[in-house]
A and B are shown apart, each in its own frame.
With several copies, the nearest count.
Chain A
């Protein structure tokens, strides 16, 4: 059975290593924070000006002056630092973030990502995503494998306006885990529990590479 968004977040949490500085995008990526193992030390960066983001506050600790990039009320952990938006993106552009987790509407087999605009329909804006994908060393995407009407979102080429070229390193969808190869193509690494390789082939428009036995993911 395909994963729900919590399942995707849980699987991605395994990618977070001890000592990492991590930027979490809006949506599923934000949920990842809830599943990071408690025995590793991680600093979450929020591009609105906070390094060392903690959990949501208890009701009595809510502070309207302390939010994350998704405009949710948050707290700080010991060792946190606050800074302005220019300093925040200085950090991002200079490659200090070890892992960046973003949502996406589409990803191409070349690692292009689209996540900010549907012409004529929806304009949210790119926020910090274009800066992140242009500079971060290690970008992984959390997304649904297909749209609500069943169209694949892992494509040969993106149909929507793109956010960045050749930047996505890994995809975690509700169906599986995929490396985006430097030479192009989605290499299947893991299947979601109960999802078959056949299901994934069906749901993937871009070039899918399946080598040997594909293990079921452990979450």
Chain B
């Protein structure tokens, strides 16, 4: 069996260099690669361009790398939860590219699907359309959007096997599967790593071919952003 296992988070991220473009899976704090983010902070890798739907919160998720000024640029769709982010953005310290969430998801999917560009109606007539080609299909204007790819994609799954196959749980799936396909090197951290042959091939969300390295995270805090109960 092709084996993608690495021993720990340090080995998984050992070659992430200053200035790298990195995709981070997750929606809010749900389904984020906690172990890799913490290790990147410890390692101090700088000038990162981060592609992530959100930017974490103050003190958790990508908020950790914002606090230490390791992020040069964010490509996201919604950043309303993070004060440090807003501060760095309004002061001009942080470059930010905001994209419609569906366009972000589809551009990443296109990157992993070998589709260099596609047309979508989202954003027509808005700031997002600036500098983009407009084309009318069936009487409706659309924007040309290009694929997104990254030097590294870092994703978090519920279960994974040594062949790199991944299964996500609940809404922690979100951007993780597309990002897994769009990294030159894709690093997967999982809650439970099992031998190849353990997972039902019919249940796999991300086939192992997309995963370069896999390891079981030491611990998951899984912080909840808005705890709401009946």
List residues of A whose CB falls within 8 A of some B CB.
Answer: 19, 21, 41-43, 45-52, 55-59, 62-74, 76-96, 116-117, 120-131, 134-135, 161-165
Q: Is the CB of A64 within 8 A of B128?
A: no
A to B CB contacts below 8 Å, 20 in the list? A62-B227, A64-B223, A71-B28, A73-B224, A76-B201, A79-B2, A79-B197, A81-B204, A81-B209, A82-B201, A84-B174, A84-B175, A84-B177, A85-B102, A85-B105, A92-B114, A93-B120, A120-B90, A125-B98, A131-B120
Q: Is the CB of B171 within 8 A of A122?
A: no
A52–B101 alpha-carbon span in the complex (Å): 20
**Does B63 count as interface, using CB distance less than 8 angstroms?**
no
Q: Is the CB of A162 within 8 A of B126?
A: yes
Q: Is the CB of A79 within 8 A of B115?
A: no
**Does B181 count as interface, using CB distance less than 8 angstroms?**
yes
A135–B164 alpha-carbon span in the complex (Å): 23
Q: Is the CB of A86 within 8 A of B108?
A: yes
Among B76, B173, B197: residue with most chain A CB under 10 A: B173
List residues of B whose CB falls within 8 A of some A CB.
Answer: 1-3, 27-31, 53, 76-81, 86, 89-90, 96, 98-106, 108-109, 111-115, 120-128, 158, 161-163, 165, 168-178, 181-182, 195-197, 201-202, 204-205, 207-210, 222-230
Q: How far is the CB of A55 from chain B (nearest CB, A)?
A: 6
Q: How far is the CB of A114 from chain B (nearest CB, A)?
A: 9
Pick the contact of B161 from A58, A79, A122 — CB < 8 Å?
A79
A208–B212 alpha-carbon span in the complex (Å): 40
Q: How far is the CB of B118 from chain A (nearest CB, A)?
A: 11
A125–B79 alpha-carbon span in the complex (Å): 6
* 8 closest A-B pairs by CB: A93-B114, A78-B197, A89-B102, A79-B163, A131-B102, A79-B196, A124-B80, A90-B113
Q: Is the CB of A125 within 8 A of B76?
A: yes
A50–B209 alpha-carbon span in the complex (Å): 11
Q: Which residue of A lies closest to B124 (CB)?
A: A134
Q: Is the CB of A86 within 8 A of B178?
A: yes
Q: Which residue of B lies closest to A89 (CB)?
A: B102
Q: Is the CB of B100 within 8 A of A128?
A: yes
